[in-house]
Structure 1
Amino acid sequence: MNTRRNRSLAAVAAVISLGAAVAVTATGASAAAAGCQVSYTVASQWQGGFGATVAVTNLGDPLTGWTLRWSFGAGQTITQAWNATVTQSGAAVTAVNASYNGALGTGGSTSFGFNGSWTGSNPLPSAFTLNGVACTGSAVPTPTPVTPAPTGSAAVKTVRVFWLKPTDVAFDQRYPDGIAAVMREAQRYYKQEIGKTFTLNGTVVEVVNGEHDRNWYITTNCSGSDHYWCVVQNMQQELMRRFGISSQDSRWLCVGEISAEETNQSGGGASPGWVVLSGHDADGAAGLNGAMNRWYGGMVHELGHGFGLPDSTSTDGTPMSASFYSYPDTHFSQAQKNAILAGPYGSFLS
């Protein structure tokens, strides 16, 4: 598998076929109660910096672990944290319990703190979610996911796109909308460059409720401490199994993005028939991780691998090299155009 990090993905060659595609997970009957209350306090503030304490109270059924999420509204940045593992992507902040404070019984509370930087203003966050549930100060029933019966598959000879949402990630419309926008821009670019382009499925982004939480995708089926490929491998294997897709399927060229990754150890890549990307690409498509041209160029690059192209051997001005970072000022060579059209998915272009 080709990627922006020079690694191999041996497990991607595995073929799992169950024959029928399965519809996206739906919502069914109520089960356990969930709810939470959050107190966010700026304990101290100075020019350009501040310290804050966040207290979390579980109002629902007991938890064995928790993930709190919120977004800053004025460009604040977290620089140091304690009593939780805190990561930030753009405005979006994720705090995960430490090993010693993950268990929260009904009515149980814990707290963590952090230091941050600010410019201009430092408004308080307006909304929090705990394990994907909005913290409104009251308990509500948690819907139980149910998987409906198979309902058929996407149109053949299309690029089929999935956003896999782990169980502890709240649905956010920015992700399917943003990923769809990236795919449409890549579609436009291929038409510009080759004179032909691919067709997207009628449902451009199929939102899939994952079977596991983020940590499972990050740490399961790993080789030692190297988690670089775990996230995207686990996503791909789940999508292949649940939707009856093979590793190089003649019906679809597939793109999978998952909202999970381990900082600095999770990535993605592509090979003929598949593009598999982790959290920072999903965040980028949603507009939460820098300039959009970088994510447009990245998708054009990975789709090039999906259509059968290798990486360029040098930074040569084509999107199959580091020149994709200069998108849209990058262009396929004539040899690359010919190879795409003659490749395993060239017949998908019209």
Structure 2
Amino acid sequence: MRVREGALLSYRTIFEVLMSIMRETGSPELPVFTQKYLNSISMYPHWCRLVVRLVVLFVNIFMLKAAEKNNAAMPVSSVKLLCTDFDGTLVESSLDRCTQEFAEVLSYQRKRGGSWVINTGRSLPYTLEGLAQFHCPVSPDYIITQEREIYHLSSSGKWQDFGDWNLRCRRLHNELLLKYQDALEAICKGLTHRSEITPVRENGIVSGLVASSEEIMSQVTVELDWACKDLQGWAYQRNNVYLRFCHVDYHKGSALKELCRLIGFPREVVLAAGDNFNDIAMLDGKHAAMCACPANAIKEVKEAVLKADGFVASGNHALGVAESVQYFLER
């Protein structure tokens, strides 16, 4: 009678363990719970433990095969390179933090082989400072600064020039400022609203302007377009009330194109997002097949994005960028 009761108890134990396994086979903690049940039957007969161990073995094999199948079926992201501006596009001020939606989009893209580049008008130190304040759980793979210089993270963990692009860019930029320094000084002094404009200088040479308001800067750009039309190779990049003189061949669009050449990405897998005048060069569809902007972008940017068959988000800043990435992933 005792033997029969023991056998019935063993059968019941096996049944309970198997039912528990069936209920929890979807759990990622499979090794934990199987070991838990194996420990719980350690006092039962050897044949009982053997049956349960065999079942657990088959369940583990099944789960591993299912995981391999899911990983193999995981789609490669259509957005291989996400190129975003920083100020105005991801953040409104230094107090803004990375949104959960943007962090999730970056993580999703990164797991599927995607990369992220910040394409900003900031200098490299100022960009890194902004990133530290942004508190994004995913770090950018590349950084484009001052609308033109390309950096990548070295094996030592330091940001360094990517290729010889930066050297060529700096040389042409410096040559341009030296060549036209007298002309630019005279033009700046002759601007109608010069009392509301502050010149920015590099090594004593005027290299940009800061206006007291966006309205004033809009009037200044009209005058500059006319006054500087004969300065070959000269151009400028504007963001809000800030304006930087530059070489016509070096801007956010051309820098993005060079980065894609360096890492071997065609424009068809690039998504660019920006919000202001200096972003338009990368939002015209020439260097990124997917173009987008958050809802807070200026009118001119929205027009450029729509002209490039892009997407204008309903959300502002990082929320809008996350919405844009999701749109192109699902399209």
**Which is higher, the Rg of structure 1 or of structure 2?**
2
Task: Tell whether the structures are fold-level matches, with TM greater than 0.5.
Answer: no
TM-score (normalizing by structure 2) = 0.23
Higher helix share goes to which structure?
2
Higher strand share goes to which structure?
1
Greater relative CO (CA pairs within 8 A, separation 6+): 1
